[in-house]
Copies of this chain bind each other. A is one copy, B any other.
Amino acid sequence: MEIAILSSGVLAFLVGIFLAIWVRKQDEGNEKMKKISHAIKEGAMAYLKRQHKTLIPIIAILALILNFAINWIAAITFIFGSFCSALAGFIGMNVTVRANVRVANKAKKGLKKALSLAVKGGSVTGLMVVGLGLSGVTALYLFFGKPEFLVGFGFGASLISLFMRVGGGIYTKAADVGADLVGKVEKGIPEDDPRNPAVIADQVGDNVGDCAGMAADVFESYVVTIIASMLLGISLGVKGIVYPLLICSVGIIASIIGIFSVKLGKDKNIWKALNKGIIIASVFSAIGFFVVTFYLFNSFNLFYASLTGIITTIVISWVTDYYTSREKNPVRQIALASKTGAGTNIITGLAVGMLSTLPSIIIICAAIFISYYFAGVYGISIAATGMLALSGIIVSIDSYGPITDNAGGIAEMSGLPKKVRKVTDALDAVGNTTKAVTKGFAIGSAALAALSVFSVFAETAGVSSFDLMQPSVLVGLFLGGALPFLFSSFCLSAVGRAAFSIIEEVRRQFKKIKGLLEGKARPEYARCVDISTKAALKELILPGILAIVSPLIVGFILGPEALGGLLAGAIITGLLLALFLANAGAAWDNAKKYIEAGVLGGKGSEAHKAAVIGDTVGDPCKDTAGPSLNPLIKVINMVSLLFAGLIAVYSLPVIL
C-alpha cells in the first residue's frame, strides 16, 4: 500500500513536469513581450536564488545543532524537508514566470484558450506541492519505518515557509507600495506603466509572494499535518499511520481530475469554471475517503472526520467571500465610509476585519467538536488532513492568480491591443477571489494542523495535562498570545522600511534619468529589483531566529507546561490576527476596486482617494503580516516537538 501511495505522489510530480513542458512549448509572443517577461523571470529567479543562498548557512547551523542535540536523523530529515519545500516553490515559480507571457499571447486567441493555459501553468505549482510533499514523507517513512523520525522533515518545511512568507511578503509589498506611491500618486502615471522603474519589481513580487510564498506555506501545512496525524495514529497501529497518507493520495488523484475538468462554459463565467474544478475534486475526494476508510477500518467514524475537513474548506471559503467580496455588504460599507474620508474608511475596515474572525472561529470550533466526537484527537488531525488533501487543486487555482496578474501587466507594458487586454483583465479580476479563498483555506487548515502538532507535543513532552489553573501555563499562554502581535508588528515595519528605500530609488530615477516621464528613456528596472531583494533578505533573519528561539527559551527556562501554554496562546491569537489582517486587507482592496468600478464618484473622486489609503494600509496586512503567522505558529510548534524530549528532562523547573 505504501508503494501505491508513493506512486500517487510521483504521479503528481510527473503530471506537473508534463504540464510544465507543455507550457514551455507555447508561443511567447513578440520581442517586446519576451523582453519584459525575461526581466520578470530573471528578477524572480534571482530573488529565490539569493534567498536560498542566504538560508544555506542558517540551515547548516541548525542541522548541526539538531545533530548534536537530538540525532543525525533529525538533522538529515530537516535538510531534506527544507530542500523539498524550496524545490516545490522553485519549480512552480519557474513555470509561472514563463506562463505569464504565454497567457498574454494566448489571450489573442480568446478567453477560453487563455484560461486553460493559465490554469495549467498554475497547476504545476499545485502538483509540485502535493507531489513532493506526499512522496517525501512516504519515502522517509518507508526508509526509517517510524513516523517519529519525520519531525525534522516538517520542521525544515516550516522554516522555509516562514522565510518565504516573511521575505516574499516584504519583497512584494515594498515593491508594490513603492511603485504606487511615486508612480500613481506623485507622478500620476497608471498602474503597470513601463515608465515606472519599480514596475518589474512589482511583477516579480507577485510571483515571489503569491506563488512561491503560498506554495511553501501550504506545502508546510500539508507535510506537518500528515506527520502529526501519523504520530497520533501510532496508537491505532500501522493502519492509523498509513491512513493519513492514503487520504492525501486520494486527494492527489481527485485534484488531478479537478484540474483537468476546468473548462470555460458557454456563460463565460471564469470563477464558475474554476469553482467547478474545486467541487469535482471535493466530490471525488469524498468518495475516495469513503472507500478507503471502509476498506481500512470497516467503520465510518474516520470518514466523518475527513469529510469534516472537506466541508470546512468549502464553508470557510464562503465566509471569506462574504467579508471580502465587493458584491456583499461589508465591502460596500467600507466603500460608503470612504465618502467621509480615509479615517472612516480605515475604522470601518478594522471593524469588518475584526468581525470576520467570529464566523471562521465558530466553523473551526465546529470542525474540532465534530471530528473529536467521531474519532478523538486523532479525528481532529484527520479533519485537518482531509482539508489539506485538497491542496493540489487549491494551490493550482491560487497560482493562477500571479500568472494572470502578470499577463495583464505584460499586455499593458507591451502595448497589446485593447481586445487582448480585455481578456487578460477578465482573467485577472477573478484572481482576487481565488486569492481570498486560498487564504481562508491556508489559515483554517493551519489552525487545525497546529492543534494536531500541539497534541503530539503534549504526548512527547510527557506532560499529563496543561492546566489553565497553573500559573506557568497561564504565563506561557500570555507570552504565546503576544508573539503573533510582535511578529505582525515586525512585518509591518519591515515593509515600511523596505518601501521607503524603493520610494527613494524611484524618485531618484525620475529625477536623474532625462526623458523618463516622457517615455523617451528606459528606467533601470534591475536596480529596483535589487533593492527589494536586499531589503527583504535583510529583514528576514531576525523573525526567523525569534521564531526558533522563543519556544526554546520558554521551554528550558519556564518548563514544558509553560511551553504548552505558549503554543496554545500563539495558535489562538495567531489564528485571530491572521483572519483579521487577511480579511481586513482584502476588504479594503475590494472597496477600492468597487469604487473604481464607477460607484460613489469612481476613480479620482475624494472617496476613491480615501479608499486608496485604505488599500495601502491593507496591503502589508494581507500580504505580509497575515500570511507570516501561519508558518510562525508551525515553526514554534515543530521546534517544541523536536526539543520536547530534552525540555522534559533539562528544563529549569524540572531540574530545580
Q: Residues on A close to B: CB < 8 A?
A: 177, 181, 185, 337, 340-344, 346-348, 350-355, 357-358, 361-362, 364-365, 368-369, 372, 377, 380, 451, 454-455, 458, 465-469, 471, 473-475, 477-479, 481-482, 485-486, 488-490, 492-493, 495-496, 499-500, 503, 564-565, 568-569, 572-573, 575-576, 580, 612-613, 616-617, 620-621
Contacts and interface: CB of A to CB of B under 8 A. Distances in A.
A354 B471 contact: no
Contact of A354 (B181, B474, B488): B488
A446 to B, nearest CB: 14
A620 B343 CA distance: 11
A340 B500 contact: yes
A627 to B, nearest CB: 16
Contact of A469 (B455, B469, B616): B455
A372 B468 CA distance: 14
A365 B475 CA distance: 5
Contacts of A621: 350
Contacts of A475: 365, 368-369
A495 B503 CA distance: 35
Contacts of A455: 469
B368 A496 contact: no
8 contacts: A347-B620, A348-B492, A354-B485, A369-B475, A451-B474, A454-B468, A455-B469, A465-B468
Nearest to A572: B481
Contact of A465 (B467, B481, B573, B576): B467
A637 to B, nearest CB: 13
A568 B468 contact: yes
A463 to B, nearest CB: 9
A369 B471 contact: yes
A500 B185 CA distance: 28
Contacts of A489: 350-355
A356 to B, nearest CB: 8
B479 A361 contact: yes
A596 to B, nearest CB: 17
B482 A361 contact: yes
Nearest to A477: B572
B341 A185 contact: yes
Nearest to A558: B369
A496 B344 contact: yes
Nearest to A350: B492
A606 B477 CA distance: 43
A358 B486 contact: yes
B347 A568 contact: no
Given A365-B475, A467-B467, A613 B341 contact: yes
A34 to B, nearest CB: 35
Nearest to A480: B572
A478 B365 contact: yes
Contacts of A351: 488-490, 492-493, 496
Given A343-B617, A355-B486, A485-B576, 15 more contacts: A181-B343, A337-B496, A341-B616, A346-B613, A346-B617, A347-B493, A350-B489, A350-B617, A351-B493, A354-B489, A451-B474, A458-B468, A465-B468, A465-B469, A482-B576
A191 to B, nearest CB: 16
Contacts of A380: 471
Contacts of A471: 368-369, 372, 377, 380
Contacts of A346: 346, 613, 617
A577 B291 CA distance: 47
